[in-house]
Structure formats: structure tokens, C-alpha cells
Amino acid sequence: MNDGIAKPLKHGGNERKGSPPFRFHLVCVCGILGPPLGSGEVGALMMYLNETDKVNNLTKLARHRIVARAVALYPELVDRAYEAMDDYERKWGYIGAHDEWRAILRKDPTEIRRALTARTEEMDRLRIDSPFYLLSHHGLDFTDEEQRRRIWRLAKKVATISTRDEGWTRCSQHEEYQSEPPRI
């Protein structure tokens, strides 16, 4: 597995005052979505309404793995996340998820990184309103279309593979998930 998923790249003189002189860019997607389910490594069995939900949640997880690596190198990004939430709320109003994010961001950087990459339903929900998506001027720019497509394609592939390994199937549209895998 390649741990160098995001490399800091130097700007060419267009830095904003107070922003770190780097921009994170996806250079390799190996291992970005974490351990495969059923591998015995840390992971979670998640229930999704459909494959699109699963792919979208996996793309958010991949972006937050990039964020976690950035926070390890530049802990001041946590302060920028606080500022971004305050700016957002001044402009658009209160968002309840920001209180939960503030509680996470008060922890030490190791715990923050662990929370960012947690494969739980709570973090799937919180990643929707992540303050780190608002830090494009601080090196965490997720607006590059090619990068977004690469992450989405990888997430789609992982979603397809991991569904087979999760050990549950859907009987019909209205029934609950079963705990046994289908017999083939």
C-alpha cells in the first residue's frame, strides 16, 4: 500500500496571506479508502440505502483521509476549520453539525485524525457538513474535477467489491438485511 496519498505541492507565488505554502493533490489512490471489509483489519459494517449512497460515503471518507494526513503535517488546519465554520455561519446561518465538529476539533490531533477516518454512521453523517471542505484557500482543494472523478471511480470499485464481502444481502425492497451471505 502507498502511504503517500497526498503530497504537498508548492504554490508558485499565489499564496494567500496566512495560508500554508502548499496545496494537497491526490497522487495515488492505493489504500485511500482503508482496509477492505472482511480483511480482519479495523473497519465497520455499514448499511446503505443503495450503492450510490455507499459510493458517496466512500468518496467523503477518501477526502477525509487526505485531510487527516494534511492535519498531521499542518495542525493549524484545525484552526482554519474553526474559522471556516464561523465564517459560514455568519453568512448562511447556524448548522447543528458544526457543534459536533467543534467537539471533535477540540481533541488532540491524533484523536481528530482518528475521528476523520472513522468508518461509522455518525462520521458518515458528519462528513456531509465537514468544515474541511471549506478550506480550498488553505491547501485542501477538492474542486479539481479530475481528482474528484478518480476518487469516485475508486470508491465505486471498492463499493462493488466490499458489498460481496460484507456478509449481508437484501431480500426484497421492504425487508431487513439478513446476516448470512447468499449461497452461491
Which runs of consecutive H residues, i.e. helices, occur in 93-179?
A: 96-105, 109-116, 121-127, 145-165
Q: Any idea where the domains of the chain sit in the sequence? A: 6-178
Task: Give the model's pLDDT for residue 170.
Answer: 41
pTM to 2 decimals?
A: 0.64
Q: What does the pLDDT read at residue 138?
A: 81
Instruction: Dump pLDDT digits (tens) for 93-149.
Output: 999 999 999 999 999 999 999 999 999 999 999 999 999 998 988 888 888 899 899
Give the Cβ contact number of residue 1 at 10 Å: 8
Cα angle value 141/143/144 (rounded, 5°): 95
Could you tell me the pLDDT band of residue 49, with boundaries at 50, 70 and 90? low
Distance CA 19, CA 69 (A): 17
Whether 125 contacts 104, CB under 8 Å: no
Per-residue confidence (pLDDT) for residue 163, from 0 to 100: 56
